[in-house]
């Protein structure tokens, strides 16, 4: 078949598609019958070269390059045809392929062809004697792209070439690289040149030692480079030649451990000399020379880090390095030098060449910087990272010298102190040191001891607030390790819960828990200082419980918290209560300070993995339902509703009886006629209904629409209609506290799209079937109801993918456009918000409605009933600029004329 193909088919005379098929056929034959091709030997290779000669189509070239690479890498004997194969492929170098911008179907890029050809040229060392001269020749080109391609190709080829192939060209390549790096006007060319130099030195490092004279080629070659570069580095003048000489030295050091060692021995003494001499110069400002010398030293320290040395090259210079770095750490006149010194400290720690005493002395200098709040924020952040690294690598030193100083000062902090800055600094330091588990334990113990000395009152609120922020920072950093998580669950979360429960049992005065509650008619204010502290503690608990693995610890915490809220069992927390003031957190008739602790149920039991056992869950659900519906306290009934929804969502089998009871209780609350002056619980019931609906919707439960229907029946209610429609935002958005993936909630794929497609027909039908009555009050009631339907729709549109909107677009637009003719401000605002979202998210879909939309927006500029409507109309006109220019240009004069009148609007905001 191959012989017939090569004999009968003259590839060059075929059309592109036919040539492409020939190359694919050759590829398939070679892939599946390599042995047959190998037996053909020179005939196969010769005919292949003849077939591909002169090919110009990029689609065909990609196939050719891949096939040529496969042939070479399969070990095919190139014999005396190596030069011919190189000639027929390298003739395309450098590739300059620029597909037409109008050809949107083009799938082949210049990069694809460049990489394909580079793979061929770097596939065998046989090409070395042809390829290296070619690349050096192309480096003389005036075309910048050709220079960069040559540098990159040579970098890719060198690992394949042996000493015999490269030795004649090494010095020439170095000179070419130096020329390109020093004189290039392109940063990319400089970068590629330095990468080539690194690869060149690395390749030379791998050459075998000369057997005759024991000569090490690397040292001879490096001495040439180092001598050349050092002559420029010694110059006091700061110019590009000196800068690039430094970069070339560093590029050599990156090549190998031997190269790095040689660079260190030759360069570090000079750098240290320059640094010390610059430091002695009398000047109020640190000389630039000092900055440059020290920066180079830091770079060398970083480069040394990954290498393993038989004898570390930095050891002879350790004393001078320590002296210099320490002096730079305390050099307060230059923030840059201090930051570089911190980086150098971290790199020096990583070398593991310092004794324990030397590490301790540097660690204490870093700690002094970290504990000084007057230092620059960026410097302190660098020190935090370095100290954290040291804590993980040499925890025994941190525990011996750094931790005692921090803990001692933490213990001395007065919990009643109103100054939080010092405590904040100490907590930041403690967080940085906690990278090792034993240190973490040593940090947490004194912190929680100080917390146990506090009470939830005004005297300790500042201290507790900072402690909560510090504990949250620690949880954010270290909760990926289950050891930290289990320790915090038992030693942080439970003590914080105890603190809040104790605070709820001991108000400072009858009917008053803090100064901010003094003027509250109910005795408690939403601005109570205890509330943010409880919420902060809840956030810490939620972060921990979300990460806590199912097991003994999780089950123990779950059981403890469940007993606390169901059986009011305070014995496990060692809390004593007075008979006249019991702990009843799920009793809506008692103090809000107690009922607000329900937020810990949300943060714990609702955050656990679904495999964690939760005792007494049925009793909890019924009590939470009652609390959510009857508590007059906003934080309480919202937290109770979220917790109830969290339980509902995670159950394997949701109780039908519980859902029926929820619907029945909420329906009765909505239908109940209130006596004059009696408080209504419609708001609480709607909150519970919305969150329960969300819990069901996320798992695509069959009863979801029953709950949605009940929400929509309240759109006409004057008290909770707007709340019901706004609740669709809660249904569609992910909550931070509950019913999210982090809290292990059950969330079905594409539930939002399914929910939207089920609810949309109900909204459209309800909207269209409402008839306007001649009676003005009835008309206004219908318009308000329409506004609520439209608000619900707008809340969903924001979070629905464009593909789903496109399918329902014909149903949506007439509804929205009709709404723009209303006189009710709330309906207009909802319609304008929905249209604004559509214009911004899908301008191509709105293009055909541009004239109609503009007419409506311009007419609403004169709407006198509400300033917000005029503002939103102007915003929508601005959003129309996202439409294509041919659509906008005819509208320009009309819009400018209308906006000129709007400039006279009596409201400056418009």
Question: Are 71 and 134 part of one and the same domain?
Answer: no
Q: Is residue 846 part of a domain?
A: no
Predicted local confidence at residue 793, as pLDDT: 84
Per-residue confidence (pLDDT) for residue 581, from 0 to 100: 75
Same domain for 470 and 611? yes
pTM assigned to the model: 0.79
Band (102; pLDDT cuts 50, 70, 90): very low
- Domain with residue 164: its CATH number is 1.25.10
Q: Are residues 114 and 129 in the same domain?
A: no
Average pLDDT for 40-63: 86
Q: What is the pLDDT of residue 284?
A: 41
How confident is residue 281, by pLDDT bands cut at 50, 70 and 90?
low
Burial of 357 (0-12, 13-18, 19+ CB in 10 A): exposed
119 and 136, same domain (yes or no): no
Range in 55-69, 131-145, 863-877 with the lowest mean pLDDT: 863-877
Residues 34 and 75 reside in one and the same domain: yes
The pLDDT of residue 333 is above 90: no
Total domain count, the chain: 3
Same-domain pairing of 103 and 131 = no
Which of the pair, 444 or 232, is modelled with greater confidence?
Answer: 444
pLDDT tens for residues 543-555?
999 999 999 999 9
Which of 205, 229, 254 terminates a domain? The answer is 254
Residues 528 and 541 in one domain: yes
Q: With respect to residue 156, please indicate whether it lies within any of the assigned structural domains.
A: yes
Predicted confidence band at 904 (pLDDT cuts at 50, 70, 90)? Answer: low
**Average pLDDT value for residue range 676-705:** 88
Helix, strand, coil percentages in the chain from 3-state DSSP, rounded to 5: 70, 0, 30
Q: Residues 227, 161: one domain?
A: yes
Domain boundary among 254, 270, 296: 254
Question: What is the per-residue pLDDT for 780?
Answer: 65
Band (774; pLDDT cuts 50, 70, 90): very low
Q: How many CB atoms lie within 10 A of CB 119?
A: 17
| Average pLDDT estimate for 284-292 | 57
What is the mean predicted confidence (pLDDT) over 127-137?
A: 91
Instruction: Say if residue 87 is in the same domain as residue 135.
Output: no
Q: What is the pLDDT of residue 214?
A: 45
Per-residue pLDDT at 846 exceeds 90: no
The whole-number pLDDT of residue 637 equals 93
Least confident range of 166-170, 798-802, 855-859: 798-802
Mean pLDDT of 710-738: 89
Assess if residue 161 is contained within a domain: yes
Cβ atoms of residues 201 and 221 within 8 Å: yes
- At residue 285 the predicted structure's pLDDT band, cuts being 50, 70 and 90, is very low
Residue 282 has pLDDT above 80, yes or no: no
Contact 615, 558 (CB under 8 A): yes
Angle, nearest 10°, between helix axes 850-860 and 892-902?
10
Quick: pLDDT tens for 428-439.
Answer: 898 888 888 999
Residue 541 has pLDDT above 90, yes or no: yes
Does 360 fall in a domain?
Answer: no
Among 288-297, 489-498, 877-886, the minimum mean pLDDT is found in 288-297
Confirm whether 35 is domain-assigned: yes
- The per-residue pLDDT for 529 is 80
| Residue 306: pLDDT over 90 | no
**pLDDT greater than 90 at residue 771:** no
The predicted pLDDT at position 599 comes to 93
Give residue 46's pLDDT band: very low, low, confident or very high (50, 70, 90): confident
pLDDT (average), residues 298-320: 89
What is the average pLDDT across 611-623? 92
Q: What is the H or E stretch that residue 213 is in? A: none
Q: Does pLDDT of 588 surpass 90? A: no
Tally the C-alpha atoms within 13 A of residue 469's C-alpha that lie toward its C-beta. 14
| pLDDT above 70: residue 752 | yes
Average pLDDT, the chain: 85
Q: How would DSSP label each residue in 819-868?
A: HTT---HHHHHHHHHHHHHHHHH-HHHHGGGHHHHHHHHHHHTT--S-HH
169 and 185 fall within a common domain: yes
Quick one: pLDDT at residue 47?
86
| Sequence-separated (6 or more) residues with CB below 8 Å from residue 419 | none
What is the pLDDT at residue 674?
60
Longest dimension (CA), the chain: 113
Residue 700 has pLDDT above 60, yes or no: yes
Q: How many CA atoms lie within 13 A of 721 on its CB side?
A: 18
Q: Is the pLDDT of residue 658 over 90?
A: yes
Position 227 in a domain: yes
Same domain, 597 and 470: yes
Higher pLDDT, 832 or 101: 832
pLDDT score recorded for residue 768:
75
What's the per-residue H, E or C state across 718-734?
Answer: CCCHHHHHHHHHHHHCC
**pLDDT digit string (tens) for 155-177?**
999 998 888 888 889 999 999 99
Is 215 a member of any domain? yes
Q: What is the mean pLDDT of residues 315-329?
A: 89
| Mean predicted confidence (pLDDT) in 94-98 | 84
Q: Are 714 and 724 in contact, with CB atoms under 8 Å apart?
A: yes
Mark which of 587, 615, 643 sits at the end of a domain: 615
Q: Which domain holds residue 536?
A: 466-615
What is residue 1's predicted lDDT score, i.e. its pLDDT? 82
Q: Which two tokens mark 343?
A: 């980086």
Residue 710, pLDDT > 90, answer yes
Based on the domain organization, do 129 and 5 belong to the same domain? no
Does residue 508 fall inside a structural domain?
yes
Quickly count: other Cβ atoms within 10 Å of residue 720's Cβ.
22
Residue 15 has pLDDT above 80, yes or no: yes
């Amino acid at each position: 078949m191959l012989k017939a193909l090569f004999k009968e088919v003259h590839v060059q005379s075929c059309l592109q598609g036919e040539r492409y098929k020939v190359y694919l056929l050759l590829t398939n034959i070679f892939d599946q019958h390599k042995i047959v091709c190998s037996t053909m030997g020179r005939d196969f290779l010769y005919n292949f070269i003849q077939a591909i000669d002169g090919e110009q189509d990029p689609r065909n070239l990609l196939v050719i390059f891949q096939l040529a690479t496969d042939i070479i890498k399969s070990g095919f004997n190139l014999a005396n045809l190596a030069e011919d194969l190189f000639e027929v492929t390298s003739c395309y170098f450098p590739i300059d392929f620029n597909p037409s911008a109008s050809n949107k179907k083009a799938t082949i890029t210049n990069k694809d062809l460049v990489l394909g050809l580079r793979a061929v040229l770097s596939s065998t060392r046989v090409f070395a004697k042809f390829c290296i001269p070619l690349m050096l020749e192309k480096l003389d080109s005036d075309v910048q792209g050709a220079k960069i391609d040559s540098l990159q190709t040579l970098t890719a080829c060198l690992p394949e070439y042996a000493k015999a192939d490269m030795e004649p060209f090494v010095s020439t390549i170095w000179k070419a690289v130096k020329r390109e790096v020093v004189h290039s006007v392109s940063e990319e060319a400089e970068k590629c040149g330095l990468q080539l130099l690194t690869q060149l030195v690395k390749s030379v490092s791998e050459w075998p030692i000369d057997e005759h004279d024991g000569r090490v080629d690397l040292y001879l070659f490096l001495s040439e480079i180092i001598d050349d570069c050092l002559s420029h580095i010694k110059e006091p003048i700061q110019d590009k030649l000196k800068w690039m000489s430094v970069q070339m030295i560093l590029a050599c050091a990156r090549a190998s451990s031997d190269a790095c060692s040689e660079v260190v021995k030759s360069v570090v003494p000079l750098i240290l000399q320059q640094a010390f001499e610059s430091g002695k110069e009398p000047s109020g400002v640190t000389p630039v020379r000092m900055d440059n010398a020290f920066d180079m030293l830091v770079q060398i320290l970083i480069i040394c880090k990954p290498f393993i040395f038989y004898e570390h090259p930095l050891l002879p210079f350790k004393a001078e390095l320590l002296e210099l770095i320490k002096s730079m750490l305390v050099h307060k006149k230059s923030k840059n030098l201090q930051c570089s010194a911190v980086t150098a400290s971290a790199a020096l720690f990583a070398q593991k060449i310092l004794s324990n005493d030397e590490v301790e002395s540097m660690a204490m200098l870093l700690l002094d910087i970290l504990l000084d709040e007057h230092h620059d924020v960026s410097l302190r952040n660098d020190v935090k990272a370095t100290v954290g690294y040291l804590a993980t690598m040499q925890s025994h030193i941190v525990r011996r010298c750094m931790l005692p100083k921090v803990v001692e000062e933490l213990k001395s902090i007065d919990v009643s102190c109103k100054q939080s800055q010092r405590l904040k600094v100490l907590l930041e330091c403690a967080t940085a040191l906690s990278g090792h588990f034993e240190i973490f334990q040593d940090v947490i113990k004194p912190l929680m001891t100080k917390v146990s000395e506090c009470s939830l009152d005004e005297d300790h609120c500042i201290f507790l607030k900072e402690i909560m922020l510090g504990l949250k920072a620690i949880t954010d950093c270290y909760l990926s390790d289950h050891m930290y998580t289990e320790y915090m669950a038992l030693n942080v979360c439970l003590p914080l819960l105890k603190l809040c429960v104790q605070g709820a049992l001991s108000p400072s005065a009858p009917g008053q828990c803090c100064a901010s509650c003094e003027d509250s008619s109910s005795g408690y204010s939403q601005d109570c200082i205890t509330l943010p502290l409880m919420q902060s503690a809840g956030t810490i608990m939620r972060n921990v419980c979300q990460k806590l693995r199912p097991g003994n610890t999780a089950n123990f915490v779950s059981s403890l918290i469940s007993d606390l809220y169901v059986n009011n069992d305070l014995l496990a927390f060692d809390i004593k209560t007075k008979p006249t003031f019991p702990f009843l957190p799920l009793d809506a008739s008692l103090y809000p300070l107690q009922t607000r602790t329900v937020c810990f149920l949300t943060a714990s039991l609702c955050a656990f993995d679904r495999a964690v056992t939760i005792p007494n869950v049925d009793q909890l659900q019924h009590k939470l339902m009652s609390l959510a519906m009857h508590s007059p306290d906003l934080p309480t009934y919202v937290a109770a509703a979220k917790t109830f929804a969290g339980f509902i969502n995670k159950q394997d089998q949701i109780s039908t009886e519980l859902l029926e009871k929820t619907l029945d209780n909420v329906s009765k609350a909505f239908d109940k006629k209130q006596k004059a002056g009696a408080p209504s619980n419609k708001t609480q019931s709607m909150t519970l209904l919305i969150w329960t609906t969300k819990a069901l919707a996320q798992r695509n439960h069959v009863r979801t629409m029953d709950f949605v229907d009940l929400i929509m029946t309240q759109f006409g209610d004057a008290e909770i209609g707007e709340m019901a429609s706004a609740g669709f935002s809660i249904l569609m958005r992910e909550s931070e506290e509950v019913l999210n993936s982090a809290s292990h909630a059950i969330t079905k794929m594409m539930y939002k799209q399914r929910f939207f497609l089920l609810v949309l027909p109900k909204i459209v039908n309800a909207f269209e079937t409402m008839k306007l009555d001649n009676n003005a009050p009835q008309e206004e009631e219908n318009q308000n109801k329409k506004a609520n339907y439209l608000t619900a729709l707008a809340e969903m549109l924001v979070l629905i993918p464009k593909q789903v909107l496109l399918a329902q677009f014909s149903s949506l637009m007439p509804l929205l456009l009709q709404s723009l003719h209303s006189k009710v401000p709330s309906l207009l605002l909802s319609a304008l918000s929905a249209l604004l979202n559509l214009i911004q998210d899908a301008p191509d879909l709105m293009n055909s409605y541009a004239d109609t939309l503009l007419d409506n927006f311009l007419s609403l500029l004169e709407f006198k009933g509400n300033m917000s409507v005029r503002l939103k109309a102007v915003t929508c006109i601005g959003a129309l600029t996202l439409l294509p220019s041919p659509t906008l240009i005819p509208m320009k004069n009309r819009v400018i004329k209308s906006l000129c009148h709007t400039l006279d609007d009596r409201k400056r905001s418009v």
